């Protein structure tokens, strides 16, 4: 999705050209793009046999969807469990003060 958002409109070949080496097979990228389209993240315009893809979901909406899925699948639907995991995980660089300030800012908006 990052590549598609950056390119805005692209073909599978455009995506492949944007990916560094070693490049995956054309069929793999094509499959991923079709899956993203089935999930309503992308749409396309056909020019004969060529399809030009473009995002129909914003980065923010995609991020919300992804985070909700992660929290639901791995943290029993609890955002508190996610935050607790991030704070406890020693391999992750989490600034607890920064996280606390962010939570305060978010609660002030509500």
20-56 residue pLDDT tens? 899 999 999 999 999 999 999 999 999 999 999 999 9
Question: What average pLDDT does range 52-71 have in this prediction?
Answer: 92
Which is nearest to 53 in space by CA: 109, 3, 87? 3
Do 61 and 67 contact (CB within 8 A), yes or no?
no
% of the chain beyond a pLDDT of 90: 62
**Could you tell me where the DSSP H helices lie in 1-110?**
2-7, 12-18, 26-38, 59-74, 79-88, 96-109
Do 41 and 1 contact (CB within 8 A), yes or no?
yes
Residue 86's pLDDT is what? 78
2-55 has which fold? Arc Repressor Mutant, subunit A (1.10.10)
């Amino acid at each position: 999705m990052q590549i598609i958002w950056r390119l805005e409109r692209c073909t599978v070949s455009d995506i492949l050209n944007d990916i560094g080496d070693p490049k995956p097979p054309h069929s793999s990228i094509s499959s991923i793009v079709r899956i993203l389209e089935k999930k309503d993240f992308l749409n396309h315009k056909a020019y004969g046999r060529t399809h030009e893809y473009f995002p129909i979901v914003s980065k923010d909406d995609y991020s919300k969807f992804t985070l909700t899925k992660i929290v639901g699948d791995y943290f029993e639907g609890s955002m508190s469990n996610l935050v607790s995991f991030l704070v406890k995980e020693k391999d992750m660089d989490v600034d607890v003060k920064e996280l606390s300030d962010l939570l305060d800012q978010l609660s002030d908006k509500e």
